[in-house]
Structures are given as structure tokens and as C-alpha cells.
Chain A
Amino acid sequence: MGSLRLSNVSKRFGKVVALKNMSLEISDGEYVVVLGPTGAGKTTLLKIIAGLLKQDTGEIYIDGVKVDDYPPEERNVSLFFQNFALFPHMTILENVAFGLKVRGYDSREAENRALEALRLMHLDNRAYSYPRELSGGMQQRVALARTIITGASILLLDEPLSQLDAKIKSELQYELRDFVKNLGLTALHVTNDVEEALALADRIAIINRGEVVQVGTPFEMVEEPKDVFVAGFMTDMNLMEGIVEEVSTNSVIVDIGNIKLRSSRKGSFRRGEMVIVGVKSKDFKVQKADGELVCRIEDSIFSFKYRKLIVCFDNGLRVQVKTDKSGLEKGAYVSLRVDPNDVYLFPCPKGGLRAAIAEITGVS
């Protein structure tokens, strides 16, 4: 059992608003990933759920019970700390077995289970080392092992895979999800890595500046981003400022500095309105230069199974294009095509595109 509900939770540190009226519902057995740039309030959120911080207003319910006055050890949650917090005076095994021992488990049984968790993390051979003798990535796996076996039914994971090498990371992702699903645990996993989120989540919640921006399945988040922030965060969309030139019943034509794009996606826009146009780099089709949407290839970067082109239009607009065509050399002229269904339109946020991008990259 481990459902979780936050209702209008707010928290501020002096002048900084870390969480603002946050509401979120996670059902028993669900794997939810919270995505957001640095400083969005992710860690604060987990600490409040764990009972390490007290929210200013709002309530938290675990399994339908209001837990605001419960101490951390009685909340049935287990928190993975962003900076691990491995106890320096205990061996790896003792660290991992700690949560079971303090819950009254027999020491033999606690250690057996701890070893099992360590095996899952490929670290059973380091059981008798001390934390300081392990690399950052190893420490992270130990901390993860320690978090997942406490018997708590809700796992709160604060960037648990951030320090791992790409290989071991993708492997552990699946093992982690398997583990959680097999035991029927509930997970609230925080990260700023989109691929990780897509691989793990039943549902994704994007937060920014302490507020939930959008919640949905990975598919929804990628295909139906609600605004520029989500689009920019979840996908590699080319985002461009444009002006609505023509509105008809089922399509809109936007002018981006003399480049016209037609969009047939839903949304209500007025003529002359400033909008943000988004096109995923995979949705541009490259073909021979034919007079329409002509651009010059500025750079061509080879990657695993496709080529990434940086192309530049006459008006100076630059976009990224993914293609599997070969023979596209630097300096060559090509034409782009895009299906009107793949042209996203978003209302222009305050401060324009520049501010929105700064926010996405966490610079602001």
C-alpha cells in the first residue's frame, strides 16, 4: 500500500518560494517521475513528503491518512538523498542493512537482504568496504540499495542515477523499475534527465519554479506539450518566434521572418498574434532545393544512426534537422518540408522566447 496525495502544498525559504500550491496525486504502485530544472523545488518537495521539512501550508496524505504531524520514521517512505548521505562510520553492508535493523529485523536476515540489494547494484563484492573507499557512482548505487530495501512502500528518489556512466545507468534504470514493480512499490523519482524520465515513468510531472506545469504519460508529454516550457524541456523542438498571418477553420499560417509555416494542430489564435512555433528536428524532411524553404547546410554532425544538420535560412534563422539521408555536405543548399500536423504553436510567454529558453536551461 502506498498512495500519495499532496494538496496545495506551499513552502518558502525567506523570500524564495520553493513550492507554490503544489497538488499531486500518485496511486499505489505507480512510478512517477518529477522533471524540472535545477532550483525548481524538487528536493524540497521530497523532503517535505519525507517529513524532514515542514510545509508552510497544505496537506500531505499517505494511504489516505494525513501525515503532516508524523515524524519521518513513521511515514512509510524511504528517501534517496541527492548527496547520498552514506554513514561514514559504517561499512557498505551496514549502511544498506541499517533501515531493516532499526525496524527490528534480525541481523542475519537484514544482512542477507542487504546483500541481495547490493547484488542488484553489482556491488556485493564491496560489502565490507567503507563509503569513502568507493567512487561517486558506486556510492550512489549503495545509497540506492539502502533506500529501496527498507520495506517502506513509497520510495522518494532524488536524482538517484545522476552520477552513473551511461552504460550502467541504462541498465540500472530497468532494474530499478523492475524492482519497484515486482514489489508493488510506489516511486516518486526526481531527475532533470528527460531520457531517464521517459524510460522509467508511468507518468511524468514537470515542475518549474515550485509549480506543477503539466502531468501526463511520457507519450502525452512528448506529443502534447502544454506550453513552450514543457516542449523545450521534453523534446528537442526547434522553437521560433512568429506572427500569425492567416487563420482558417483547420489551419493557421505563421510568418517567421518571411518563412511561412502552416500548422493544422488544434489551438485558437488570432491574426497578428505573436506565437512560438515548434518543430521537432526529426519532423523536418530534407529534399533537393526546389525554391521553397531553401536553406544552406552550415554543419553536419554524425551520430549513432542519423545525421544532425544545422541549417540556416536566408533570413538568418537557424534550425536543427535530424535525417538519415546521406550525401549532405556542408555548404550545400536543400529544401525542408514539414507536415502541418507536426508544427506546434504555443502562446508566446511573457518575456518572449529568450526568457522561456533561459528558464528551461535553468539559467534564470
Chain B
Amino acid sequence: MQNIWKILRITILASTFLTFTILVLFPTIFLASFPLIYIDDIRYEVFENPLIGSENLRLIIEVLTFSFKLSASTVLVDILLGIPLAFILARGNFPGKLLLETLVTLPLVMPTSGFGFASLLTWTTVSGVGKWFGLSRGILSITSNLPFIDVPIIIFIVHVSLTLPYIVRTVQAKLVEVDIVYEDASRTLGATSLTTFRKILMPELLPAIFSGSVLAFARSLGETGATIIVAGVRLTAAVAVVKWEFEFKLGAAAFLGLILVLITWLIILPAELFLTSAKGGIVKPPSLISGTIVERALIKLEAKFSKRIFKNILHGVCVALLLVLVIVPIVVVVESVFSYMFKDPYTGKTEGSVIYQLFGPANYLPIMLRSTAVSFASAFTSTYISVFLSIPLVYIIDRYRVGRILRALLKVPLVIPSSALGLSVLLFWGPKFLGLLTPSIWLIILTQIVFSVPVIVETTMAVYEGSNIKLYEDAAKTLGANPYHVVEKISLPILKEGIITGAILSFTHSLGETGAAMIVMGADIPISVLVVNMVESLAIPAALFTSAYLIIISTIMIVVFRIVSGRRRI
């Protein structure tokens, strides 16, 4: 009997490991072979082009610089906006809290292309907010730049909305965990609320702020779906990878993709080291100013601004900004669908109506339905496969020495720009290497598996480490349960929450992903890419309808999820 269980276990773990290696690991690692495969193309296109010399290199540097300025300023604003919001959600107790929380999470589950289009419409066109103020144009131009750093405001605010959840959620989770008694103690010892924040909470929150920032930065660096829509003529690095791939500048695309991956790694690795070395997850900031004159002045200053009124103003401003960034585009899109329903409200032409584009000669409806089918089929299949891969993987990661390396490798698909990932998957399975698959829904599924497995493993791992699961398993064993019973009755029920959360996150992520899909989809266009195509072919009413449709689907999904999982946060 003992032997059967052993054989069974080894079979399951070994087959999981094999599948995982082929489906996830190879395509991920394959990135590193870019320069080898493309060495000639890269030299030809980037460094020694007979016609334009190193013009492409200059371009690469330009898009990288631009991306960096964009992502850095995005993260900065995320932090400023995100910390107060995290506080409101973690410490506050007010009627609309659940709603606010859902609102913060929405950009995570919303297909970014749809949201990007909604924002574009809202801020830069006459159909948007401009109309409400009686303007005959948008309140922003697509080329209005932020002062000093030359980043278009519209790209910037879209990136802030899309990456804000990463900071808010990580900081909020940490705040919930930190016992409020420390803040209470500090207050009764005479510290004002701001001094308490600086001296008591900051050390606890720094790791969370840091890891949230890293995620937000990586996400911003790799964001494709919304950026491609709002960027106009500006190119971010992630978008450039997609564009160049379309223009068959494969060498340049691969080179840029590789640089992006390397940069992401350079950011993630030290962050990981820093965080794992922090004792008990608390970073002790050097107390350079403790007890000095500077600190005493600081304390006085903090006392001045610790009044409740300032806190209320700050919170009000943050919530208002969140509402403006997330709710207004949704409202505008839905409203526009109605005003464009039967005719273009400005020219009065019926050709410019939603109905006409869906059912008229352009006949977008069947295309849309097919795309919906592609999206849901691929997202469902990839999530389904990923769940079955992830559960044994959690065990492998915990029980075997390779586990730690596996876990570190699994961070790669989570943070690298999805367009680079798509390129890697395409190269691995496609004609350049294995030659097994051409771009199609199958490649979409394979790509989605690559980034879904890490998501499910991480959420499950979090529950695994947070629960005393080994103790319960041992207890069950001593009570006479066989391995099957242990898994069925003890492990899976405990891990269920993590698995479900991971599955939902990976499903919505797969549904909304744009950058990688554009590269691997071939003729099977998923709905998120369809929006981009509609915008590029200027089928605005169709894009409107599709965006509204996507936003409504994702809102329904998040609400359903909330109901299913009670009050748990995703």
C-alpha cells in the first residue's frame, strides 16, 4: 500500500514538473536566447544598418528613456495617492467602503485596452468631459505634456489608474496586519498622528510600499493594451516591441525586448534580496535624525499638520482623484454608447452610429462575438490548465530544494513586459525554433499559461505559508488518514481560498491581456485586441460599444466574485 502512494506521488509530481518545464519554464527562459538567434538581425538592424546606420539604436534609447520617465513618475504618484487610500480602506469604517475597495481593484480586472479607450475618449475628445464644461474639444490634447518631464498627461493618468491598485493593495494588506495597538500606544505616549505615521508605521510599511512600487513599475513598463491606444505617436518600449514585430523589424524588437527583461530583472532582484533580508519584514530605517534638532523641528511641523481637518482634506482629495480617474471614463463610455446608438451626435450621420457599425456593412457584431468566444475560451482553458499545474507545484516549491529557484523564476513572467513574453513564446513554439505552432488561439493559450501559473502559485503559496498546513496534515496522518484523504480533506480545503483567488485573477488577467496576445494571436483576435484594432481603423462607435461591453463584463465579474467569496479581497 505504502508503495502505491509513493509511486502515485512521484508520478504526479514528476509529470507536473515536466509539464511545467515545457509550458512555462522554457518559454520564459527562452528570452535569453534572443541575442543568439537574432545576432545577425540585431547587428544589421540596430548597429550597422547600411541605410540608416545606428538610427534604430537611437530610437531604442529614446523609447527606453521615455518609458523610464513615464514609469518612474507613475510610481511616484501611485505612492502619494495610494498610501492615503490604503489607510482609508484599512483603517476606515464607513458605508461605502466595499464600493471604494471594488473601485480600486477594478483597473486590475478590466481589459486595459477598453479602459485606455475610455480614458482617451474622456479626456481628449469632445465626447468626454470637455462637453460637460461646454468646450468643443477635450480638456486635454493628446499631446499635452506634464511639465519638465515631457510625458503626455493622458498616458500618465492611464498608467496611474492601472498601476495604483498594486500599491494600494499591498499597503492595505500590510496595514490590516499591523496591530492598531502600536499606533494607539504611540499616540498616548504623546506623538501626533503624523509623527506616529513616520516613526511607527513607516518602518512596518516600507517593505510593502517597496514591493508594491516594484510591481507597479514593472506593470507600467510593460503595459501595452491601453498605452497603444492613448499614446498617439509616442512610443513606449513595450509598445515598440509590438509595433516593430508587426513591421517585421524582428531584430530590433527582440533586442529591445531583451533589454526590457534585463532591466526588469535588475530592479526585481535587488528588491527581492532586500525584502527577504529584512528581519521579520520590518525595515529599520537609519535613524539619522532621531532626537536631533532637525527631528524636533520636524515634530513641531508634524504637530501643526496633524489636525483632523488636514487628514480629511487629504483623504477627500485622494478619493476624489480615484473617482475621477476610474469612474468618469466608465460613465463617459457608457453614456457615449447611448448618444452614438443611432447616429453620430455631431455630424448626424447614421454611418457613425453604433447600430450601423454593428449590423451595417462593416458588420462588427459577428467579429465581436467571435472575439468574445476566443477570449473566454482561451482564458478559461489556460486558467483551467494552470490550476492543475499550480497545486502540485506549490508542494514542489515547499518540499524540494529546486523549489526556491523555481519560485524565483516564476517571478519573471509576472513582471516582464507581456509583449516581450509573447515574443518569447512565439519564438519558442513558432517557426524560428520548435516549429510546432503558428500564431493562433493555441499560442494565446500557451502564453496565458505562462503568466497564469505564477499568479496562482503565488496566491496559493501565500495561503500555504500563512496557514499551519503541515501541522494539520501531520495531525490527520496520525489520526489514520491516507495521503489521498489528507489532500482531499485537509490540504485542498485550506488552500482553496488561495487557489480560487489565483484562478480569478489569472482569468481576468488573461481576458484583458493585450500586448502578448497581439503578437501570438494570428487570425484569432481576442476581444481586448479587437478594441485596439477598432480604434486604429477609426471605427469609434464600434470601439465604444466594445469598451463598454468589456467594462461591464469585468464589473460583473468582480461583483460576482465578491458575492461568491464573501468579503475576501482580491
Contact = CB atoms under 8 A, between A and B. Distances in A.
Interface of A: 47, 50-52, 71-73, 75, 77-79, 81, 83, 85, 87-89, 94, 97-99, 101-108, 110-111, 132, 146-147, 150-152, 156
A108 B291 contact: yes
Nearest to A146: B189
A101 B291 CA distance: 6
**A-B interface, 3 closest residue pairs, ranked by CB to CB distance from nearest:** A107-B291, A99-B189, A72-B187
B292 interface: yes
A89 B189 contact: no
Interface in B164-216: 179, 181-182, 184-193, 195, 199-200, 203-204
B181 A83 contact: yes
Interface in B290-343: 290-292, 295-296, 299-300, 306, 308
Given A89-B282, A102-B199, A107-B292, A71 B191 contact: no
A73 B290 contact: no
B280 interface: yes
B203 A89 contact: yes
B6 interface: no
A335 to B, nearest CB: 56
Contacts of B296: 104, 106
Contact of B184 (A52, A88, A94, A146): A52
B97 interface: no
B195 A85 contact: no
Contacts of B284: 89
B466 to A, nearest CB: 19
Given A81-B184, A81-B185, A73 B192 contact: yes
A89 B188 contact: no
A79 B185 contact: yes
Given A81-B181, A98-B199, 11 more contacts: A50-B184, A73-B192, A78-B190, A88-B280, A94-B290, A101-B290, A102-B189, A102-B192, A105-B291, A110-B291, A151-B190
Interface string B265-301: 0000000000000001010100100111001100110
Given A71-B193, A104-B299, A87 B185 contact: yes
Contacts of A146: 189
Contacts of A152: 190
Q: Output the residue of A71, A77, A101, A106 with the most chain B CB within 10 A.
A: A101
B310 to A, nearest CB: 13
Contacts of A111: 291
B190 A85 contact: no
Nearest to B291: A107
Contacts of A132: 280
Nearest to A69: B308
A106 B282 contact: no
Contacts of B190: 73, 78, 99, 102-103, 150-152
Contacts of A104: 296, 299-300
A85 B181 CA distance: 6
Interface of B: 179, 181-182, 184-193, 195, 199-200, 203-204, 280, 282, 284, 287, 290-292, 295-296, 299-300, 306, 308
Contacts of B200: 87
A98 B184 contact: no
B293 to A, nearest CB: 9
**Most chain A CB within a 10 A radius of its CB, from B184, B185, B291:** B185
A47 B184 CA distance: 9
Contacts of A105: 291
10 contacts: A52-B187, A71-B187, A72-B184, A79-B185, A81-B181, A87-B182, A89-B203, A102-B191, A102-B195, A107-B291
A48 to B, nearest CB: 12
Nearest to A106: B291
Contacts of B192: 71, 73, 102
A83 B179 CA distance: 11
B190 to A, nearest CB: 5
B184 A85 contact: yes
B181 A73 contact: no
Contacts of A81: 181, 184-185
A152 B187 CA distance: 12
Given A52-B187, A99-B189, A102-B189, A107 B195 contact: no
A97 B186 CA distance: 11
A151 B290 CA distance: 19
Nearest to B187: A72
B290 A51 contact: no
Contact of B187 (A73, A103, A110): A73
Contact of A73 (B179, B188, B295): B188
Contacts of B308: 71
Contacts of A98: 186, 189, 191, 199
A181 to B, nearest CB: 22
Contacts of B299: 102, 104
Nearest to B283: A89
Contacts of A156: 188
Residue of B184, B195, B280 with highest tally of chain A CB at under 10 A: B184
B189 to A, nearest CB: 4
A89 B186 CA distance: 13
Contacts of B182: 85, 87
A181 B262 CA distance: 66
Nearest to A107: B291
A159 B182 CA distance: 18
A339 B187 CA distance: 54
Contacts of A101: 290-291, 295
A99 B295 CA distance: 14
B440 to A, nearest CB: 54
Contacts of B291: 97, 101, 105-108, 110-111
B188, B200, B308: residue with the most chain A Cβ atoms closer than 10 Å? B188
A52 B291 CA distance: 26
A114 to B, nearest CB: 11
Interface centre among B191, B203, B280 (most CB of A within 10 A): B191
A95 to B, nearest CB: 9
Nearest to A100: B190
A94 B192 CA distance: 17
Contacts of A72: 184, 187-188
Contacts of B199: 98, 102
Contacts of A106: 291, 296
Contacts of A97: 291
A97 B291 CA distance: 10
B203 to A, nearest CB: 4
Contact of B188 (A50, A87, A108, A151): A50
A107 B289 CA distance: 10
A88 B181 CA distance: 12
A151 B299 CA distance: 17
Contacts of B280: 88, 132
Nearest to B188: A79
Nearest to B308: A71
Nearest to A132: B280
Nearest to A109: B291
A156 B188 CA distance: 10
A128 to B, nearest CB: 13
